[in-house]
């Protein structure tokens, strides 16, 4: 397995009541006694990254030896099917036109012993496993069943940090967000306190997240939301994701744990037949709810508007790019590599000059571009009547200039405000602009 560097490391377990337990690892030896419930825990001092395998010895009435341990960076990945999406599926998707190692063929050359993976099995994790048999090197059959987004994240991280990477994947296809949040967290939330929360709270948190506490981590990756988008949630989802983030950080007793997530991709949600009337604006409104969570410290979000071949497919391929973009955010925000461009264009402000509107952006990198060389797409303006029309959009000096002969006095502006929108505004680093709307 991999242990987290530069943080206290908790080793815990069960023994007979009062039993003396000692832990030896990396030159440290500590001793404790099991409490009246037979529980014990020992905290090792922070460790430096190590690519050399070490052995941990845990001694009581019996002796447990854990071998092949590295020290580096550890991340927990969770969500629904797009996070669970396996490397086996990744090997069968449409091949991108890439001259170097093709990510579709990754299983053929993934053999880096410095990347270790642990796939959470909800039936197995809650059972005692003193030998931690779930850990594997990221290759062969273990990798075939592992999250593609999580793996490609780890590959990019290792390339830049050159320390061992440990990835824990705990995801369930089709899951809403509520099962990943404990009932206590909802009860303590100012927003949900006293409410009956639908969606089976704690169903997956209890068997698939809670047993991992307090295994030391650098942070979390989250790829979920499609199921809640079908429920037409906006503010409720912002509050639920905020509750999840705060409660997971509280469980690990670390308010600064990184939490980076994926803004969900284009999909034809409005084709759904059900009690709720879903429109083409349901998805952008849901994305807005995701974006609002960035108000929390140590959070990051990537955009995926360009990573679909068909909006009918709720499981787009390109998981290698999802993982890479998540890694860019982590490297920039969580590892202090500010020279790495981690975001595409993010709307900053609009200035009206006569009949034209000048937009400035953060996240321009080395410059704004039209990815396909065509006119900028998916900008819309509305006057006081509230009717949006497509705007002419041009690029000049890293500003976007908008106008429309149909709107003499614009009061509203929006970008990529449609479930099928795949806009072409990017920065030169190849990262897409974030959807937004604003009043002028």
Predicted pLDDT at 120: 95
Structure token pair of residue 329: 């955010």
- The pTM (predicted TM-score) of the whole model is 0.97
* C-alpha closest to that of 201 among 181, 185, 231: 181
* C-alpha closest to that of 209 among 134, 298, 120, 80: 120
Predicted pLDDT at 408: 87
Backbone CA torsion sign across 362, 365, 366, 369: negative
Predicted pLDDT at 98: 84
- Mean pLDDT, consecutive 10-residue stretches, the chain (440 aa), reads 98 96 98 98 98 97 96 98 97 89 94 96 79 90 97 98 98 98 97 96 97 97 98 97 98 97 98 93 98 98 97 96 98 97 98 92 97 97 95 97 93 97 98 97
Residues 6+ positions from 389 with CB-CB distance below 8 Å: 380, 381, 382, 404, 406, 407
Q: How far apart are CA 425 and CA 374, in angstroms?
A: 10
Q: Can you give the length of the chain in residues?
A: 440
Under 8 Å between Cβ of 318 and 95: no
Q: Given the structure tokens 């698939």, which residue do they identify?
A: 208
**Angle of helix 319-329 relative to helix 148-161, nearest 10 degrees?**
40
Q: How far apart are CA 159 and CA 377, in angstroms?
A: 35
Structure token pair of residue 420: 């099928």
Cα 384 to chain centroid distance, Å, stands at 38
Q: How far apart are CA 155 and CA 325, in angstroms?
A: 12
Going from N- to C-terminal start, the domains of the chain cover: 71-335, 346-439
Q: Given the structure tokens 């030998």, which residue do they identify?
A: 131
Predicted pLDDT at 433: 98
Look at phi and psi of residue 231 and say left if phi exceeds 0, alpha if psi is from -120 to 50, else beta. alpha
Predicted pLDDT at 348: 98
* C-alpha closest to that of 390 among 403, 399, 401: 403
What is the number of H-type helices and E-type strands within the chain? 11, 23
DSSP character string of 378-432: -EEEE-TT--EEEPEEEEETTEEEEE-TT-SS--EEEES-STT----EEETTS-B
% helix, strand, coil for the chain, step of 5: 25, 30, 45
Question: Which DSSP letter does residue 306 get?
Answer: T
Look at phi and psi of residue 249 and say left if phi exceeds 0, alpha if psi is from -120 to 50, else beta. alpha
* C-alpha closest to that of 76 among 173, 210, 241: 210
Q: Which fold has domain 71-335?
A: Rossmann fold (3.40.50)
Under 8 Å between Cβ of 194 and 222: no
SS3 of residue 331 by DSSP = helix
Look at phi and psi of residue 192 and say left if phi exceeds 0, alpha if psi is from -120 to 50, else beta. alpha
Under 8 Å between Cβ of 393 and 375: yes
CA angle in degrees (0–180, nearest 5) for 414-440-261: 45
Cα 124 to chain centroid distance, Å, stands at 24
């Amino acid at each position: 397995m991999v242990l987290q560097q530069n943080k206290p490391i908790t080793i815990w377990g069960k023994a007979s009541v009062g039993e003396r337990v000692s832990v030896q690892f990396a030159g440290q030896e500590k001793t404790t006694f099991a409490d009246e419930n037979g529980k014990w825990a020992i905290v090792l001092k922070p460790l430096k990254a190590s690519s050399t395998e070490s052995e941990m010895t845990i001694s009581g009435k019996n002796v447990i030896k854990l071998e092949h341990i590295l020290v580096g960076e550890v991340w927990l990945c969770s969500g629904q099917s797009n996070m669970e999406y396996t490397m086996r599926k990744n090997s069968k998707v449409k091949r991108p036109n890439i001259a170097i190692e093709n990510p579709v063929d990754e299983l053929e050359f993934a053999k880096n012993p410095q990347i270790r993976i642990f796939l959470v099995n909800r039936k197995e994790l809650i059972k005692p496993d003193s030998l931690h048999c779930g850990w594997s090197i990221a290759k062969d059959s273990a990798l075939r069943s592992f999250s593609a987004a999580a793996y490609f994240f780890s590959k990019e991280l290792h390339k830049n940090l050159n320390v061992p990477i440990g990835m824990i994947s705990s995801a369930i296809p089709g899951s809403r967000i509520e099962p990943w949040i404990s009932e206590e967290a909802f009860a303590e939330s100012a927003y949900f306190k006293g409410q009956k929360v639908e969606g089976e709270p704690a169903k997956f948190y209890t068997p698939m997240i809670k047993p991992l506490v307090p295994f030391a981590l650098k942070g979390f990756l989250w790829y979920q939301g499609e199921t809640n988008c079908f429920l037409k949630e906006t503010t409720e989802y912002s509050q639920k994701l905020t509750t999840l983030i705060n409660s997971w950080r509280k469980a690990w007793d670390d308010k600064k744990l990184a939490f980076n997530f994926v803004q969900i991709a284009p999909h034809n949600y409005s084709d759904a037949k059900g009690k709720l009337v879903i429109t083409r604006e349901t998805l952008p409104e849901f994305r807005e709810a995701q974006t609002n969570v960035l108000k929390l410290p140590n959070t990051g979000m990537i955009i995926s508007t360009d990573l679909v071949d068909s909006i009918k497919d709720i499981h787009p391929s390109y998981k290698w790019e999802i993982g890479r973009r998540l890694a860019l955010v982590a490297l920039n925000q969580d590892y202090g590599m500010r020279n790495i461009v981690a975001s595409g264009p993010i709307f900053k402000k609009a200035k009206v000059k006569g009949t034209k509107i000048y937009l400035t952006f953060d996240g321009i990198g080395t410059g704004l571009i039209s990815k396909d060389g065509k006119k900028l797409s998916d900008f819309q303006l509305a006057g006081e009547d509230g009717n949006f029309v497509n705007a002419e959009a041009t690029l000049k000096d890293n500003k976007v200039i908008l106008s429309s002969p149909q709107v003499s006095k614009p009061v509203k502006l929006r970008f990529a405000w449609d479930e099928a929108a795949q806009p072409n505004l990017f920065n030169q680093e190849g990262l897409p602009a974030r959807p937004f709307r604003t009043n002028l």
